[in-house]
Amino acid sequence: MKKSAGAVNRSSTKKGTPPSATAPSEGWYEKLYYMLLGSIPFSLILIDRALRVVSANRNFLEKARRSEVNTIGAPIREVFPSAILEFTRLEVKVRGVFDTGLPLHGAQMTYRAPGIPTRIYYYTVVPVKSGNVVEHAMLVMDDITEKVQLSKKARMIERHLASVVESANDLVVSTDAEGRIVSWNTAAERISGYRADEVRGQLLGELCASAQRDDLTAIIRRLAKGNAVKFQELNLAARSGRLVPVDWSCSPIRDDSGKVSGVVAVGRDLSERRAFEERLYQSEKLAALGVMAGGIAHELRNPLSVGFSAAQFLQAPSRDPAFQQECVGKILDGIQRASTIIENLLRFARPAPSNQVESVNLVALARETAGLLAPRTKLEKVKVREDYENASVLISGNASLLQQVLMNLILNACQAMPTGGDIVIAVRREAAEAVVCVSDTGCGIPTSHLSKVFDPFFTTQPVGKGTGLGLSICYTIVKQHGGVIEVDSEEGRGSTLTVRLPLADIRGEG
């Protein structure tokens, strides 16, 4: 066995006659041995009892950047760098294998030598026996450098991702395919008041407001089936009992085979935004009231004026009791009219909590809003036609916010018609939707502006005339109600704004 692996390799490239299956020639097994030695992806060294290298395969020579000449026959003390020998106590270990006849398993060796890149090996020492005597020891070194580096990298990425999730301001929750919580980040702990160890294993749906539990469970079930799910706003029931509005965006986690193994839910806490929106709605409402004030003043002064005149007629002596009755009637009518105007105004001006959800009849709401704006539309020489197919179109929502939408749409239509025109307000049912249209015969919207009309602060009105928030607030309120708002316009002909809202449950229709 004085041949080197390289020499054997060379002989193996000869195209000799293939060995017969029954009687392989004398040197055939040896050839096979060296061929295997030369081609396997391990570094192999055969060591004799004097701890000298008997043979080394090509893999070892290449990795260690050594030649056969200075390796074969050399003591392992000269073949391996002394630092490695000391650290691994390789000589002691090899000697142990010769003494005990037992293989040595599983140890790691970092091979650093001048001029070559550091490699990490997993090595074993196997006794090679002849009868009961261990004649040689085979050192098998598996290069695990890439594996170690990959797992290091994987751990780094894992830590990086974990810190992203932990430092996120949004709730980041993962569940198994049944919706049981697997991970719960710091933001989720802060917002919900529940620690990760308290909720792990619980159904995420159980942490929702009781009325919406089934919604989230259904979302997770749809995701688990691999169906797409759009964002959904659901309230999270915090430990304090507070309901936190959360905008959830869920996506499935798939395993290597593509099967859904869980769900990631990222949730944004909308509390602050809701509070801000409420303030914004209120200030926009007050701005709308300012716009309406002129019309309201005019509308109030007419009945006041009639009543005032009638009272003055009554002051003068009159012998006609029928005329006196007429005067009293005018006074009573005037007071009634004035107080109706004030009542509507107050009802609109009152701030309403935006989370209050009730059954709302859109037809009644449209009627009331048209009535409230009648003084304004009349002043602007705008004729309003109301077109209601049904007496009642019920949706579930917030009446005060929805009225604000109608109000803004009608006021916008008025603004588009500075010299007067027609407005049609229509409410109807279409499949599972309630549809509200407000059309005008005004100036229309240039095509280039169509995409911007719902942007906050977009306005074509001069400074001080419009805030540019009206339609963007409509958009937000409609979206909050699970609906859509669309604009259709032709320059010079007029515009139609259409709001589509999901109809209330049929059971609620009465």
Residues engaged in binding other proteins (CB under 8 A) = 294, 297-298, 300-310, 312-313, 330, 333-334, 378-379, 381
**Strand pairing category for 394-397 and 53-56:** unpaired
Residue placing its CB nearer to other proteins in the complex, 309 or 396:
309
d(CA 373, CA 18): 103
* Structure tokens that stand for 25 in this block: 């020639």
125 SS3 class? strand
492: left (phi over 0), alpha (psi -120 to 50) or beta: left
Tokens 């909050």 correspond to 480
* Residues contacting residue 90 through CB under 8 Å, at least 6 positions apart: 76, 80, 84, 109, 139
What are residue 5's DSSP bridge partners?
none
* Structure tokens that stand for 318 in this block: 């009159």
Residue placing its CB nearer to other proteins in the complex, 127 or 295:
295
* Structure tokens that stand for 445 in this block: 């919207």
| Contact predicate 405/474, CB 8 Å | yes
For residue 379, the minimal CB distance to other proteins (Å) is 6
What are the φ/ψ torsions at residue 382 (nearest 5 degrees)? -105, 125
For residue 418, the minimal CB distance to other proteins (Å) is 12
Residue placing its CB nearer to other proteins in the complex, 252 or 303:
303
Residue placing its CB nearer to other proteins in the complex, 307 or 483:
307
d(CA 62, CA 43): 9
Name which of 265, 267, 254, 185 is nearest 224 in CA terms: 254
Rounded-to-5 percentages of helix, strand, coil across the chain:
45, 25, 30
For residue 325, the minimal CB distance to other proteins (Å) is 14
Residue placing its CB nearer to other proteins in the complex, 293 or 349:
293
For residue 427, the minimal CB distance to other proteins (Å) is 25
For residue 373, the minimal CB distance to other proteins (Å) is 15
Residue placing its CB nearer to other proteins in the complex, 108 or 318:
318
Residue placing its CB nearer to other proteins in the complex, 284 or 380:
380
Residue placing its CB nearer to other proteins in the complex, 276 or 308:
308
Residue placing its CB nearer to other proteins in the complex, 3 or 337:
337
Tokens 């009639």 correspond to 306
Residue placing its CB nearer to other proteins in the complex, 35 or 314:
314
d(CA 467, CA 330): 40
The alpha carbons of the chain give a radius of gyration, in whole angstroms, of 43
d(CA 249, CA 234): 10
What are the φ/ψ torsions at residue 231 (nearest 5 degrees)? -60, 155
Residue placing its CB nearer to other proteins in the complex, 40 or 297:
297
DSSP 212: G
d(CA 150, CA 181): 29
- 123-155 as b/e: b if 16+ CB within 10 A: bbbbbeeeeeebebbbbbbebbeeeeeeeeeee
For residue 237, the minimal CB distance to other proteins (Å) is 53
Residue placing its CB nearer to other proteins in the complex, 297 or 342:
297
For residue 338, the minimal CB distance to other proteins (Å) is 11
**How many other β-carbons are positioned within 10 Å of the β-carbon of residue 319?**
6
Residue placing its CB nearer to other proteins in the complex, 76 or 414:
414
For residue 321, the minimal CB distance to other proteins (Å) is 16
What is the distance between the terminal CA atoms of the chain, rounded to a whole angstrom?
100
For residue 319, the minimal CB distance to other proteins (Å) is 13
* Residues contacting residue 182 through CB under 8 Å, at least 6 positions apart: 174, 175, 176, 200, 262
For residue 299, the minimal CB distance to other proteins (Å) is 8
Distances (CA, A) of 180 to 152, 176, 200, 207, 263: 30, 5, 7, 11, 9
d(CA 466, CA 109): 76
